[in-house]
A and B are shown apart, each in its own frame.
Chain A
Amino acid sequence: MRDIAIIGIGMIKFGELWEKSLRDIAVEAALNCMKDAGTDRIDSITIGCMSGGLFNGQEHLTSLLPDYLGRHTTPAVRVESACASGGMAVRSAFMEVASGMSDYVLALGVEKMTDVSENIETYTLATTADGDYEAFHGINLPGLYALMAKAHMEKYGTTRNQLAEVAVKNHRNGALNPHSQFPMEITVDTVLRSALVADPLRLFDCSPITDGAAAVLITTVEEAKKIGKQPLVIISGIGVASDTIALCQRKDILKFEAVELAGQRALKMAGKTINDINFAEVHDSYTIAEIMVIEALGIVKEGQGGVATANGITSLNGKFPINPSGGLKSKGHPIGATGVAQICEAVLQLRGQAGKRQIKNAKTALTQNMGGSGGSCVIHILEAK
């Protein structure tokens, strides 16, 4: 297997982008990525998009996007793993280059969510759960995470305020990110006064509906050295794992087994332990998700995610910064773009280009992207060389 580097990243400002279409935002991110890489060589494209069909009435992005990228004969594949589609697209790009099939692969994540009514948005998100045995009974994604939040509070004593602290911390980081959809600071009170969605979760426990795209350009370390960008950012480990689609079928509904296993697999591949990681971008689709993810990754002990967050361990200047970008909560969560955007943030930090939210001496990063209520997870380890 060939060693892999990321030579370009491309973000756009996330938000409710009424004036732009699915193809517009995807092309914009790709252009930014090629500009950052200093090359427009793309041998192949992997596309992360959860549901162009339901959100936009548009499938067949493997024709549409190469076409509008001005290279209509370039090979493309689309990868779907619910909210983990973006991370999985980066993994596909990695494998394509590592295997020698292609030398330059663009991983392009995109989701244009605001072209449909709120009902269809909610319906589409609920397709990431078990359609016949969860969504059928009238539960949605926030409802499933609420079931975990309630159980976490009862088993470990996690408090309502500790959940809120996740959102407060991520908005504090996101306020420093020019690509953030909601770049404003909030307080615990903001969260506690927002509308109840599914007890105990409130509106400000949930990531927003977002239009967005993000891209990374992947090549071999050998090629990257020729281009000569410093520092070189490599992908040294990738782990993927799955879990049951239905939350209730897990032995322990408070354990993200897919996250734990994907983390172990990625770290093993990179020859690292969690203690070697300087910071992480994780999938905080709901505040409780970030708490359970940092537990599953072994960053904090089982049940201690809430306390650790309230104690500032995961803050920008804490012992283990989590979501310096602002996370899904503040930066926004354009489903298929999210996993790619996490990697863009990791690269920015590792290059020392993260501006006001720069983490000092960031050398090794982990990105964690998951689908639905935790039924699939992809984790990348990135290093500055």
Chain B
Amino acid sequence: MEVARHWRETPERYRMEAGKCSKCGKIAFPGRMICPECGSTEFTKHTLSGKGKIVTYTIIRTAPDGFEDLVPYAVGIIELDDGIKILAQITDCNPEELKTGDRVVAKFRRINEDGKTGMIYYAYKFVPDVGI
């Protein structure tokens, strides 16, 4: 149903591709056409490191449609080593044991699906960084 909508986000969701402003160096994720810092319209491709630390997080107990099976699951804001913040699920952990400041790393995971026969949506989720 929403195939095109998800397909066109593939560079961001599968490969964490961001834009880097050619003038001021600001990294924009997702990419933009106008730099929010300096107004420049020139960007180069920048692949995010996928590594960072938890700034804040919550444990979702009442989930939106399609996420019910995951409850309880953690969603957090991660400050990446690239210097930008990103929102994503934090998984492969006991959410009760997470702490602000924990190091996490991005992995490629299934996010949701459009019913039993529809499209499956993939993107990054973060997991505790055990240093491997």
Is B55 touching A138 in the complex (CB atoms < 8 A)?
no
Is B77 touching A253 in the complex (CB atoms < 8 A)?
yes
Q: Mark B59-86, 1 if CB is under 8 A from A, else 0.
A: 1111111110010010111000000011
The answer to whether the Cβ of B56 comes within 8 Å of any Cβ in the partner chain is yes
The answer to whether the Cβ of B123 comes within 8 Å of any Cβ in the partner chain is yes
CA distance A154 to B100 in the complex (A): 9
Is A199 touching B64 in the complex (CB atoms < 8 A)?
no
Assess A143 versus B77: contact at CB under 8 Å? Given A133-B30, A136-B111, A247-B87: no
CB within 8 A of B62: which of A126, A147, A154, A197?
A197
CB within 8 A of B64: which of A133, A135, A146, A246?
A135
Q: Mark A127-144, 1 if CB is under 8 A from B, else 0.
A: 000001111111110110
Is B123 touching A137 in the complex (CB atoms < 8 A)?
yes
Chain A nearest Cβ from B13, distance in angstroms: 8
Q: Mark B1-34, 1 if CB is under 8 A from A, else 0.
A: 0000100010000000000000000000010000
CA distance A32 to B58 in the complex (A): 43
Is A138 touching B77 in the complex (CB atoms < 8 A)?
no
CA distance A198 to B95 in the complex (A): 12
CA distance A246 to B86 in the complex (A): 9
Closest chain A residue to B121 by CB distance? A136
Is B64 touching A126 in the complex (CB atoms < 8 A)?
yes
User: Which residues between 135 and 185 of chain A lie within 8 Å of chain B, taking CB atoms?
Assistant: 135-140, 142-143, 146-148, 150-151, 154
**Interface size, chain A (Cβ < 8 Å):** 33
Is A134 touching B62 in the complex (CB atoms < 8 A)?
no
Contacts of B60 in A (CB 8 A): 138-140, 143, 198
Closest chain B residue to A134 by CB distance? B87
The answer to whether the Cβ of A248 comes within 8 Å of any Cβ in the partner chain is yes
CB within 8 A of B89: which of A135, A137, A247?
A137
Q: Which of B65, B67, B87, B89 lies at the interface centre, i.e. has the most chain A CB atoms within 10 A of its CB? A: B87
CB within 8 A of B77: which of A136, A198, A248?
A248
The answer to whether the Cβ of A249 comes within 8 Å of any Cβ in the partner chain is yes
The answer to whether the Cβ of A269 comes within 8 Å of any Cβ in the partner chain is no
Contacts of A197 in B (CB 8 A): 61-62
Chain A nearest Cβ from B104, distance in angstroms: 14
Is B64 touching A122 in the complex (CB atoms < 8 A)?
yes
Q: Mark A3-39, 1 if CB is under 8 A from B, else 0.
A: 0000000000000000000000000000000000000
Chain B nearest Cβ from A152, distance in angstroms: 9
The answer to whether the Cβ of A119 comes within 8 Å of any Cβ in the partner chain is yes
The answer to whether the Cβ of A195 comes within 8 Å of any Cβ in the partner chain is yes
The answer to whether the Cβ of B88 comes within 8 Å of any Cβ in the partner chain is yes
Contacts of B40 in A (CB 8 A): none
CB within 8 A of A132: which of B30, B61, B70?
B30
Known contacts A151-B56, A154-B100; 11 further A-B pairs (Cβ under 8 A): A123-B64, A137-B87, A137-B89, A137-B111, A138-B60, A142-B62, A147-B58, A147-B76, A198-B59, A198-B62, A248-B85
Binding site for B on A (CB under 8 A): 119, 122-123, 126, 132-140, 142-143, 146-148, 150-151, 154, 195-201, 246-249, 253
